[in-house]
Structure 1
Amino acid sequence: MSVNHDHNHTTSIKGKKLFFTILLNIFITVGQLIGGLISGSLALISDALHNFTDVISLVISYTADRMTKREQTLSHTFGYKRAEIIAAFINGVSLIIVSAYLAYQAAFRLITPEPIATNYVIWLSLVAIIGNGISVLILQKDAKDNLNMRSAYIHLFSDLIISVAVLIGGLMMHFFSIYWIDPLLTITISIYLFFLSLKIVVESVSILMLFSPKHLSILDIETAVCKFPKVKNMHHVHLWELNDKDIYLEAHLEFEEDITLSEFDAVCQSIEEMVRKDFNISHTMFQPEFFREDEKVLIIQD
């Protein structure tokens, strides 16, 4: 009972943090968009658009965080545990689209640079640095253990870096009238965003496609399982991540002897404790077999 309470308490704290960063980024987005339109700075507008995608991504992350609180039911036996992974995927894709659009727009501006009212760029980028810096600090701890929070954190951290770049560009334009630096910064920012978000997309797709975790070896797990008494082999294995916290393992276990059900339960309990401790596998499902004629290979082509 205490475990559920702690989990709900942690989820509630995460939700509050996300909600606060949503409000903060709405304020930053509106200010930068107005300032960008007045000053004519494409870099400032691009930062505002990226901030707007931050708001959308944070709303998605906040919604997903709330959905994970829902209980499992007969029609939703896994509950909504993958809501955060879907949110991370959407956030990553949105960043890739935005980065491509900004690079496209900046390419035209690079050919024909335009004068920019740099005062707006400097002051509004400073505001964005402060706002995004606060948001990054708020989400930093939760980003280490949660893919959804990490995608939101990367959105905000990238915005912090972008705002610093925009400030540097604003200062260079103000003191040296180097206006081509504005679209050049935008292109650089776009490339940075693309590769940053691609990692999130690849990681979330891997989980959604039920790929085995990269840090685990099925061969190592098989070796460890087959060391238990009376276990002849392990085959027909499936290993996947439900989300970025829960790893599932299911397999057929063939025994050397026709053991009783109680003996099988004892062996299973020992194996479950071992894979949880050594491989961080949280859920296991084993099917017992004795002298059954089927393929004894690790991966069966279903």
Structure 2
Amino acid sequence: MEKSLTGGRFLLVTILNVVITIFELLGGLLSGSLSLLSDAFHNLGDALSVVMSYVAHRVGGRQQTRQNTFGYRRAEILAALLNAAVLILVSLLLAVEAVRRLLHPEPVKGDIMLLVAVVSFLANLFSTILLNHGAQHNLNIRATYLHLLSDALASVGVIIGAILITIWQISWVDPLITVLVALYIIYESWPIIKQTFDILMEGSPDLDYEAIAQDICQLPEVDGVHHLHAWLIDENNVVFSVHVNMENLTLSNIEPIYRQIEALLCRKYGVNHVTIQAECRRGKDESLFYDQNDWRHE
């Protein structure tokens, strides 16, 4: 987490969201506004999301141990997945209730709705500003930031709806806004679900593996590359392993080639951790990516 994203900022964002939640719950009950009540539940989720995000980051920053040799960075990926999944679930439930309200409109007090929505928007906007920088480089913070941004957008929709209700008394605008915001939140949350799931399933990062193989093969003494593996610890840390065919060299001659390969992968492809297995002729004719049947022919 960036230095600017201190525990104090997370605490401030959490307190803001708890206050907004109580304020919107009361405002929603007094005005009869579903969009305010839905915004209140989103804000409650935001407060829990911020706490979860901060705890996950603290766990993720712990040093590696004998039981977790890659460290604990996946804690943040799990938190991001859970945050996004909860956000989608809550949005679906509120969308269902909004459809019911569209079919059976209920009276809404636009003036109370407007006042609460404006205060909520300003508070949510301030919270998103506090977390904006870290959201650019961290899935965990990005998921939390999305919670806050979605609430800020929801508040804008509620403000518009409150104005329309106050002027023209069209109460069906309230559940309509709830549906639109819910759909937008689901649309924005799905990529986080997909990316975190790919990381947890050891999916390969988006690299040009054919180009990597060609670059390695252009190094002196390298005759071939096979059994390449790459996966992500989190969205920023790539782990890479590969078998490299070389001439029959001594270990002291192989180590400089290892360093060249590591420097190439780090500088050009952003790989953080490299494991190389040198071989003379073994596996030279095998595929670039591991085939579980290859061992049967060795």
- TM score, norm. by length of structure 1: 0.93
Residue aligning to 1:63: 55
Residues 1:92 and 2:87 aligned together: no
Displacement of 1:14 in angstroms is 4.0
- The answer to whether the 8 A contact 1:61-1:152 is kept is yes
Pick from 201, 215, 223 the counterpart of residue 224 of structure 1: 215
- CA distance in 1: counterparts of 2:283 and 2:260, whole angstroms: 26
What is the total number of aligned residue pairs between the two structures?
292
- CA distance in 1: counterparts of 2:91 and 2:165, whole angstroms: 23
**Aligned-partner residue type, residue 53 of structure 2:** S
Displacement of 1:136 in angstroms is 0.9
- The answer to whether the 8 A contact 2:225-2:284 is kept is no
Displacement of 1:26 in angstroms is 0.7
Residues 1:300 and 2:290 aligned together: yes
Residue aligning to 1:147: 139
Residue aligning to 2:162: 170
Identical-pair percentage: 37
Pick from 275, 287, 291 the counterpart of residue 285 of structure 1: 275
Residue aligning to 1:73: 65
- CA distance in 1: counterparts of 2:22 and 2:263, whole angstroms: 53
- CA distance in 2: counterparts of 1:15 and 1:236, whole angstroms: 43
Change (3 A) 1:274 1:191: same
Residue aligning to 1:264: 254
Q: Secondary structure at the match of 1:233?
A: strand
Q: How do 1:185-264 residues align onto structure 2 when only pairs under 5 Å count?
A: 185-214=177-206, 216-255=207-246, 257-264=247-254
Residue aligning to 1:31: 23
- The answer to whether the 8 A contact 1:15-1:65 is kept is no
Deviates further, 217-226 or 164-173: 217-226
Residues 1:114 and 2:106 aligned together: yes
- The answer to whether the 8 A contact 1:88-1:204 is kept is yes
Displacement of 1:284 in angstroms is 0.4
> Any stretches of 5+ residues in structure 1 without a counterpart?
1-6
- The answer to whether the 8 A contact 1:253-1:289 is kept is yes
Change (3 A) 1:116 1:66: same
- CA distance in 1: counterparts of 2:58 and 2:272, whole angstroms: 22
- CA distance in 2: counterparts of 1:247 and 1:14, whole angstroms: 26
Q: Secondary structure at the match of 1:13?
A: coil
Change (3 A) 1:11 1:79: farther
Displacement of 1:301 in angstroms is 2.8
- The answer to whether the 8 A contact 2:226-2:284 is kept is no
Change (3 A) 1:58 1:295: farther
Displacement of 1:27 in angstroms is 0.7
- TM score, norm. by length of structure 2: 0.94
**Aligned-partner residue type, residue 40 of structure 2:** A
RMSD of the alignment, in Å?
A: 1.4
Displacement of 1:13 in angstroms is 3.5
- CA distance in 1: counterparts of 2:226 and 2:41, whole angstroms: 51
- CA distance in 1: counterparts of 2:11 and 2:252, whole angstroms: 50
